Amino acid sequence: MTLIKSISGIRGTIGGKPEENLTPIDAVKFAAAYGTYIKKQRNKDMHKVVVGRDARLSGEMLQQLVMQTLVGLGIDVVDLDLSTTPTVELAVQLEHADGGIILTASHNPKQWNALKLLDKNGEFLNAEAGAEILKLAEESSVTFAEVDALGAIHKNDAYIDIHIDEVLDLDLVDEDAIKAANFKIVVDGVNSTGGIAIPMLLERLGVYVEKLYCEPTGNFPHNPEPLKEHLTDICKLVPEENADLGIVVDPDVDRLAFIDETGEMFGEEYTLVACADYVLSENPGDTVSNLSSSRALRDITQKHGGTYHAAAVGEVNVVTKMKEVNAVIGGEGNGGIIYPESHYGRDALVGVALFLTHLAKKKIKVSELRASYPAYFMSKKKIELTPTLDVDAILKEIAQRYQNEDVNTIDGVKIDFENHWVHLRKSNTEPIIRIYTEAQTQTEADQVADTMISEIKSIAGI
């Protein structure tokens, strides 16, 4: 199962057979369905869609297919070429466009790619819109434009600069404080577009930048998901260079992780915690993260007098809840910062600027900042799916077994115990069941996860 259609977009491996993998035929089919959907949303003569991509090897091929398909529908295209997911989101707003497409498979390895689809606000489509596009694609309900009504492609390579301007204009980003701190920072851009955008931002902030894997070749030097086991090179380089910290992003720059001055992980979960701590200290209010995120955000929010809210996993679900409760900051525990003063999308550039402002004003080391937060430890494990595995039945059985605990079923099954929690859900982006746990020690978190995996396998008879 290597072609996955979900609210996270159309994602698959490159090559192989149509409808089984993400082939050129599938790219054209879904781009045509998306363009048809966009044209139905606004009745006007010309429509405009922003298109950008990360640096992965298949990106240029897919981008050309997608853009020319939109042109064939009579839609004008703003071509950002190499860009980031949050940059495309901002560009949709600033261009007053009708939508946007980002060619990126986010943290997946190089054989994967995807079409991430945005609405006119530069936000991810909701489930209803996604379902309509899938229906259009399956029914081939597409009519292309006649020759005099074809769209045109307008290239614009200024948007990373414009994005950085927007970040620096945010009220809570203090350029002077950051410049005065004289930070030295190592950046791992995993040879994608973060290697362009993050150093550019840091240099504007007066930071001395040491680049690691910042050439946008698409040849990822390690697994692109920014987890500890994949980041041995930067964890070694930060103390060797006497740097103040390390910054790691995923290929499309919507996830953000920090390395402290000793070469230890700050913890992806704590990226949002630290940024929220700073924002709430200046602008108290409510916060939102998904069900798989750390309790530490709840603790920090309550410390500042606000209320924490949980949403189903998926950026669109977090954004919907943030709007509902008027949250001042939110995001996901995978290092995704959503700051409404900028835009409703996970944005590593915004996260970097807020974090560095916080650090500069505190005048402490990254390790000391991390030590100031509640200590929770997470385990993130998974079970590969097989065609015979009935995930829904398994999750229903688990919920039944633990009905006397605090059980939440808005997204898979989350069980809150007094001193730990477990969250089980089917992934939107990979053929797996995710098993996330959090406890007060790493050993306990791992043990809880392993026990739950054994229980799932027992239920499934595997």
Same domain, 298 and 226: yes
**Cα–Cα distance, 246 to 86 (Å, whole number):** 21
pLDDT at 161 over 70: yes
Token pair of 142, please?
A: 């597409």
pLDDT digits (tens, 9 = 90+) for 137-152: 999 889 999 999 999 9
Q: Name the percent of the chain lying above pLDDT 70.
A: 99
- Please check whether residues 342 and 366 belong to one and the same domain: yes
pLDDT in tens, 369-419: 999 999 999 898 998 877 778 888 999 999 999 999 999 999 999 999 989
pLDDT for res 196: 98
> Over the chain, what is the mean pLDDT?
94
Instruction: Give me the pLDDT at residue 8, please.
Output: 63
Whether residues 61 and 175 fall in one domain? no
> Could you tell me the residue range of the domain that residue 415 belongs to?
377-460
pTM value is 0.92
180 shares a domain with 312: yes
d(CA 434, CA 383): 7
Question: What average pLDDT does the segment 100-121 reach?
Answer: 95
Give residue 384's pLDDT. 85
pLDDT digits 0-9 by tens, 361-370 = 999 999 999 9
Please report how the helices 24-41 and 127-139 are oriented relative to each other, as an axis angle in degrees rounded to 10: 120
Helix (H, G, I), strand (E, B) or coil at 44: coil
Whether 6 shows a pLDDT value over 80: the answer reads no
**How many structural domains are present in the chain?**
3
Give the domain-ending residue among 104, 129, 156.
156
Three-state DSSP state, 191: coil
Q: Which two tokens stand for residue 41?
A: 């949303």
Does 169 lie in the same domain as 244? yes
Residue 422 belongs to a domain with what CATH number? 3.30.310.50
Residue 1 has pLDDT above 60, yes or no: no
Are residues 330 and 408 located together in one domain of the fold?
no
Among 156, 190, 219, residue at a domain's last position: 156
Task: Please provide the DSSP assignment of 305-331 as one string.
Answer: T--EEEE-SSHHHHHHHHHHHT-SEEE
Six-digit token string for 394: 């398994």
**Which residue is catalytic, options 58, 83, 106, 294?**
106
CB-CB contact of 376 with 281 (8 Å) = no
The confidence score (pLDDT) of residue 255 equals 95
106 is a catalytic site residue: yes
191-210 confidence digits (pLDDT tens)? 999 999 999 999 999 999 99
Query: What mean pLDDT do residues 163-180 have?
Result: 98
Check whether residue 362 and residue 284 sit in a common domain: yes
SS (H, E, C) 212-247: ECCCCCCCCCCCCCCCHHHCHHHHHHHHHCCCCEEE
Structure letter (DSSP) for residue 389: -
Residue 73 tokens read as 């529908």
